[in-house]
Amino acid sequence: MDKNTLLQVWPIPAFDDNYLWCIHDGKSALVVDPGDSGPVEDYLLQNQLTLKGILVTHHHADHTGGILNLLHRFGSDLPVYGPAGTNIPGRTVTVKEGDKVEIASPSISLKVFEVPGHTLSHIAYFANTQANIVDPMLFCGDTLFASGCGRLFEGTPTQMTQSLAKFAALPKNTLVYCTHEYTLSNIRFALAVEPDNQNLISWAEKAQALRAQHLPTLPTTIGQELQVNPFMRCDQPEVIAKAKEISGQADLPSPAHVLAVIRAWKDRF
Ligand code: ZN
Ligand code: FE
């Protein structure tokens, strides 16, 4: 097999802790959430890649700030996919729940999920690429992080719970390309929620070793997050019990009530 036909996904570090993900086949590239243009330009030139399009998950500047420069530099006719209901600079294609983004080069088909919570119009892109001998991929912006979730700037705990439930239903081997390296601080909090979670304890050791070598802790997987991420475990007895203890509430009748408590706790942790 020609290795160039195989999709690859690489992180382009930007700012303090952002990853701008580049999807490419050795020749053609897409970039997800280019908050800055300089690191993307350098990466494309170093790897002799041609930019074919931009995918945007939400309107925050650290995910959109480089779009116009990239269009100026590489072609104002490049497609820029993004959510409706918000201003995305340079956006050419507005996508909503269930839409398919079909790109010829690099060859990839991405399904759109609406995932309100961090922002109201936040979307995610899912590629079920198993047929291409590559694990499924999820580009989730600031909705899901390794062992954590995004702050609720615009949405409600109920919306975030429903958004994370969409991710939980994806194949367990789905690679999750989160956009920030927040893993170690998320793990510190997750351990406060579930100090006896053995999967979390061993993940903490692995993540520390990766960061000690300045390596990304990402991508994570859906299967892994279901085992270690308190925000995806709001239906688990240990997490419910801790949320009751922290909030002093005897009854937390739904996972959204539990998520509301632990998200608020994390905000002040
Ligand atoms: Zn954001
Ligand atoms: Fe962000």
Over residues 201-245, the pLDDT tens digits come to 999 999 999 999 999 999 999 999 999 999 999 999 999 999 999
135-174 residue pLDDT tens: 999 999 999 999 999 999 999 999 999 999 999 999 999 9
Query: Binning pLDDT at 50, 70 and 90, where does residue 6 land?
Result: confident
The answer to whether 181 touches 143, Cβ cutoff 8 Å, is no
Distances from the Cα of 88 to the Cα of 129, 227, 247, angstroms: 27, 34, 38
Q: Give the distance (Å) from ligand 2 centre to CA of residue 181.
A: 10
Going from the Cα of 211 to the center of ligand 1, the distance in angstroms, rounded, reads 22
Give 33 Cα–ligand 2 centroid separation in angstroms.
9
Angle at alpha carbon of residue 65, lines to 73 and 166, rounded to 5°: 115
- Confidence tier at 1 by pLDDT (50, 70, 90): very low
Q: Which ligand is nearest to the CA of 15?
A: 2
Q: Give the ligand whose atoms come closest to the C-alpha of residue 119.
A: 1
Provide, rounded to the nearest whole percent, the portion of the chain with pLDDT above 90: 95
Per DSSP, the three-state class of 173 is coil
Which pLDDT does position 3 carry in this prediction? 39
Examine the pLDDT at 4 and tell me if it is beyond 60.
no
Ligand 1: centre distance to CA 248 (Å): 31
Q: For residue 45, which phi and psi values (nearest 5 degrees)?
A: -70, -45
Residues surrounding ion ligand 2 at CB below 5 Å: 62, 142
In the chain, what are the domains? 8-267 (3.60.15.10)
pTM score, two decimals?
Answer: 0.97
CA of 43 to the centre of ligand 2 (A): 20
pLDDT tens profile 90-146: 999 999 999 999 999 999 999 999 999 999 999 999 999 766 578 999 999 999 999
Tokens, residue 88: 């995305």
- Output the CA 267–ligand 1 centroid distance in Å: 15
| Mean pLDDT within 175-192 | 98
Selection from 191, 179, 190 nearest residue 219 by Cα: 179
179 CA to centre of ligand 2 in angstroms:
6
The residue length of the chain stands at 269
Give the ligand with the smallest distance to the CA of 178.
2
To the nearest 10 degrees (0 to 180), the angle between helices 183-193 and 198-212 is 160
Q: Is the peptide bond before 219 cis (omega within 30 degrees of 0)?
A: yes
